[in-house]
Amino acid sequence: MTISLLNTTGSNTKVKKSESGSGYRIGSLSMAPDDIICPNRKIAMCDVDCLFKSGRGTFANVIKARRAKTKLWHQDRTQFLEILYKDIERHIRSSNKARLIPAVRLNVISDIDWENYGIFDRYPELVGYDYTKRPERLGHTPDNYQLMFSYSGAPRYQEMVHQALQTEIPISAVFRGGFPSQFMGREVIDGDLSDLFNLKARNKIVGLKLKGGRDIQLSQSPFIVDNPELLEVAA
Average of per-residue pLDDT values in the chain: 90
In the prediction, which pLDDT does 215 show? Answer: 73
Number of domains making up the chain: 1
Domain that holds residue 86: 13-234
In a domain, 1, yes or no: no
Of residues 164 and 62, more confidence is placed in 164
102: left (phi over 0), alpha (psi -120 to 50) or beta: beta
Instruction: Average the pLDDT over 74-90 and give the result.
Output: 97
In a domain, 8, yes or no: no
In the prediction, which pLDDT does 214 show? Answer: 73
In a domain, 84, yes or no: yes
Of residues 180 and 57, more confidence is placed in 180
- At residue 2 the predicted structure's pLDDT band, cuts being 50, 70 and 90, is low
CA pair distance 92, 102, nearest whole angstrom: 5
In the prediction, which pLDDT does 233 show? Answer: 43
In a domain, 213, yes or no: yes
* Contact call for residues 55 and 211 (beta carbons, < 8 A): yes
| Total Cβ atoms within 10 A of residue 39 | 16
